[in-house]
Structure 1
Amino acid sequence: MERILTASEMKKADDYTINTLGIPEEELIIAAGKAVAEEIKKHKRGGRVLVVCGKGNNGADGRVIAEELKKIHGFSVFLYDVALPKPELLSAEYDIIADCLLGTGLNGAVRGECERLINKMNAMSGYKVACDIPSGLNADTGRPQKVSFKADLTVAVQEYKRGHFFGDGIDYCGKTVAKDIGISIWGDFPYKLTDEDAAAYFKKRKRNVNKGDFSKAAVIGGSKDFYGAPVLSLSSLMTMIGGAGYGYLYAPESYQNLYKGFNPECIVKGFSDDGANMTFDETLAKNLNDCKAAAFGMGLGVTKGVYDELCDILSVYKGTLIIDADGINALSLYGKDVLKSAACKVIITPHMGEFSRLTGIPVDKLKEDPIKYAVALSKELNVTVVLKDAVSVITDGERVCVNVSGSPALAKAGSGDVLSGLIAGVAVREEPFEAASVGAYVLGRAGEFAAKERGDYSVTASMLPEFIGRFIAKLEE
């Protein structure tokens, strides 16, 4: 797990390391500069390098970067320091441009000389590297100013910052790596998962097992107009990567035969419907107790019958219930407080629009601090929240996992349905927060695998289960 801090949290740790532990600031600056130079060397074997330095600690890091690169064969280094400007350097071309102009402590608008320098650097054609955070990018929100440096590589000093991933930060930072320079960090912070973390949840199975050893999970969804959504959820569940030995699909009785043709491995059961949408079925909730996890809502439509069924399940089900899509929309329309007294463990998976309808908070405001709002809702309703976006927030009200895996290939209808089934598959043997965090990470990595092979444009949700399986196979190696 890799921590993600705010700018103020990072400054507090920096101050503690210097003022309480007695580590000289100059020592940390040297360590930061060496770390960035080493990372540049990993990505480029040599070339002409322009290092642009500001007046603060970011600029001090840059001067160390320049000195370190000068020691490495193959690099020709040119230092532009705002304190001793050399305008002629800005008219040349370089293989590498290192932005050490402004750091995480930026306050106010970028203007004047800094604005001009950022524009100059952005216009250059070389490989662009940012020290800690691209100049002009807000380190907490990822919001760029009118002029902000756009990097190919960002080397985060000590820890990742929220602005590296949220908002437009994920595009302005390019590839981001964090380098430990010896700053003391303590306390609980949001974090992101790695492949190594995910692999711990997919250990190789014993040879002496059978399907009965791996529990049961279900998908409840579908209607006349949206029959495909639960099939996508089922497809990820039936990869069985989460550990479920049996998979059930509860679908409208009127269309039960249609669903039986989609997946030969699953068990299809019906629920009451009016020929189009779910109606209340008093037997459904009781039957679900054979399953350790169930995903509810995909393609059900938003009706009072859907809400009544959801309320009944919440009152009697004993497993983990994942509520997605129209399940969330029904809660928005008819009342979300029913979640507070649920008999089961609950995971809700709203995207930004669904979260906004559920809480009344405008999407623009949510994007300013998605962690704050996700944590608040989790505590209010006593549920695990997966706030889905390009970068998603998963929280149980205390712990926060930020999922940064993924690809624009996932920005398609149906990806969320695949996620709900995937989380259900993991939830048969993990607690809700862990299941949601790992499920989101696995889907993101599967999206990356799919995009690498098919490109961002041509990947569809129905392709994702295959790539989920490929990624899990990689973790098991």
Structure 2
Amino acid sequence: MRVMPHTEELPYALYRARQVREFDRIAIEEYDIPGAELMERAGSGAYRFLKQRWPDLSEIVVVCGTGNNGGDGYVVARLASQAGLRVRVLQLGEAPQLKGDALIMAESWTALGHPIEPFEDLGNPDLIVDAVLGTGLERDVTGRWASAIEQINRHRAEVFAIDIPSGLHADTGRIMGCAIEAAATISFIGLKQGMFTGRGPDCCGEIIFDALGIPARVYAHQLLACKRIDWRKRCGLVTPRRRTAHKGDFGHLLVIAGDRGYSGAARLAAEAAARSGVGLVTLATHPDHAHCINLGRPELMVRGVSEVQEIEQLTQRADALVLGPGLGRNAWGEMCYRAALDSTLPVVIDADGLNWLAEWPQQRKNWILTPHPGEASRLLGNDTKRVEYDRFQAAEKIQQRFGGVVILKGAGTLICDGSTQPASLCSDGNPGMATGGCGDVLSGIIGAFMAQDYTNREAAEMGVCLHAAAGDRAAANGEIGLLAGDLLPEVRTLLNEAHSCLK
């Protein structure tokens, strides 16, 4: 059974692998904590969680590499054996290659009379502990290492990964040839940013953190590489409402969307904005369906537009724009896109708006771009695989090329704005949201916050986090069959819960 990452008790600071290795060095050299002591703490922390997560184990197999990750595995093996479990240690790589603290832990294992077996047959354990490759991996896993990982993944037993699943790149979340698919991963000293984006969530499963008791002052030596965000952290930005407030206090959003056949995208974006607290929503859409698009939601003001002047008139009364859901790639969509960007209003650009932007590149400071990986590849002129190879780099390149705030959607949605602030990574959300219309809902939510006079960075982070949290609430009864519209009542509930906490 796959387990989604559990993030409620995790730190919000994320780091690159080299930064965590530097923390380790500082703890050893400047705070006089022996490396062997840190390894003992790591193995002990992993064993404690192992017993909590899998209390009925009888037999485990610990697969160890030749580095410090393997040393942690030897500690887990020793503690499990001393507690009465049947334990086998399988060594990947030649045992004579072990050195330093890892060698000390291997010798502690053999001193108890236990053998170190070469990796061949996993047998029939209740759990496999992955202590093969650590965070320093920079080339694809091949040969017997790849064969071992594939054999572990095929086994019926769940896998518990030490520090990071073997084969997962700690900085980018990409799979280096092949990678362990763990049910749970315990990470030490600092959380690695690649665990939460790209393929990281698939490989890590439930994520647990152990700082190993290093002094808090150690972390002052490095700026965090990325900050994890969620609705629990961002809901505090919701503005209290005065009892005498009126609709004009909460902004007017213009949504320009919906060519022939795409009225649903326009409706979802507009209704999501209305559910996100904006005072007024006007939807400018194709005349063919303008007369019926607000049936069942008469609160939306709908205008069928076919001329530039009509859009110009609407932008004069709005505070912010959403441009692109269902806009299409025909003459009507082109007219809407060009007319909208003649305005100086802040704007969220999504979907076909991004495809028009890729065709006619320009820079602006006051927009929020919301590409998924396919749209990101068109903005960058490469392919989707290249975007997913390093999502952090892709988001930064889009921001540098087009300006504003960039939201790179996907598992572990990233937000960057080119400032000195680190990128943000939303760790909420679920696979049920991989369905048509969820992106339209997101653009409407962000546009609503933008129209309510939040900064663009605030609107982007609040919108992404609220959208993800609503998706998680909506998936409470199952992810399969989740519809974009199912998020709308959850958006309203979450906003009102946040508002009630302010009273």
TM tier, smaller: 0.7 to 0.9
Q: Which runs of structure 2 are paired with 1:355-366 in the superposition (5 Å)? A: 355-366=376-387
The equivalent residue for 2:483 is 460
- Deviates most, 16-25 or 168-177: 16-25
Q: 1:52 to 1:228 in 2, by over 3 A?
A: same
Report the Cα offset of residue 172 of structure 1.
Answer: 1.9
The equivalent residue for 1:432 is 456
Q: Give the length in aligned residue pairs.
A: 459
Could you tell me which amino acid in structure 2 is paired with residue 56 of structure 1? G
The equivalent residue for 1:401 is 424
SS at match of 2:308: coil
Query: What stretches of structure 2 of length at least 5 have no aligned partner?
Result: 1-10, 96-114
Deviation by residue 1:374-419 (Cα, 9 ceiling, x = unmatched) = 1122123221111222332211023311233222222222111111
Q: 1:206 to 1:30 in 2, by over 3 A?
A: farther
The equivalent residue for 1:267 is 301
The equivalent residue for 2:323 is 296
The equivalent residue for 1:276 is none
Report the Cα offset of residue 193 of structure 1.
Answer: 1.2
The equivalent residue for 2:403 is 382
Q: Is 2:184 the counterpart of 1:153?
A: yes
Query: What stretches of structure 1 of length at least 5 have no aligned partner?
Result: 274-278
Q: Is 2:361 the counterpart of 1:336?
A: yes
Report the Cα offset of residue 121 of structure 1.
Answer: 3.5
SS at match of 1:356: helix
Deviation by residue 1:343-383 (Cα, 9 ceiling, x = unmatched) = xx100112222222222122221111121121122123221
Native 8 Å contact 1:221 1:298 kept in 2? yes
Q: CA RMSD in A?
A: 3.0
Structure 2 residue corresponding to 1:213, chosen from 232, 242, 249: 249
Native 8 Å contact 2:321 2:347 kept in 1? yes
Q: How many angstroms apart in 2 are the aligned matches of 1:88 and 1:5? A: 32
Q: Which runs of structure 2 are paired with 1:400-419 in the superposition (5 Å)? A: 400-419=423-442
Q: Which runs of structure 2 are paired with 1:194-273 in the superposition (5 Å)? A: 194-202=230-238, 205=241, 209-240=245-276, 243-271=277-305, 273=306
Native 8 Å contact 1:449 1:471 kept in 2? no
Q: How many angstroms apart in 1 are the aligned matches of 2:210 and 2:458? A: 26
Identity among equivalent positions (%) equals: 28
Q: How many angstroms apart in 2 are the aligned matches of 1:108 and 1:122? A: 20
SS at match of 1:418: helix
Report the Cα offset of residue 151 of structure 1.
Answer: 0.7
SS at match of 1:238: helix
Report the Cα offset of residue 321 of structure 1.
Answer: 0.8
The equivalent residue for 2:465 is 441
Report the Cα offset of residue 123 of structure 1.
Answer: 4.2
Q: Is 2:52 the counterpart of 1:52?
A: no
Native 8 Å contact 1:155 1:178 kept in 2? yes
Could you tell me which amino acid in structure 1 is paired with residue 479 of structure 2? G
Q: Which runs of structure 2 are paired with 1:136-215 in the superposition (5 Å)? A: 136-145=167-176, 147-181=178-212, 182=214, 184-185=218-219, 186-202=222-238, 205=241, 209-215=245-251
The equivalent residue for 2:311 is 284
SS at match of 2:292: helix
Q: How many angstroms apart in 1 are the aligned matches of 2:122 and 2:311? A: 72
Q: 1:21 to 1:440 in 2, by over 3 A?
A: same
Structure 1 residue corresponding to 2:44, chosen from 31, 34, 46: 34
Could you tell me which amino acid in structure 2 is paired with residue 261 of structure 1? L
Could you tell me which amino acid in structure 1 is paired with residue 318 of structure 2? C
Native 8 Å contact 1:94 1:124 kept in 2? no
Q: 1:471 to 1:156 in 2, by over 3 A?
A: farther
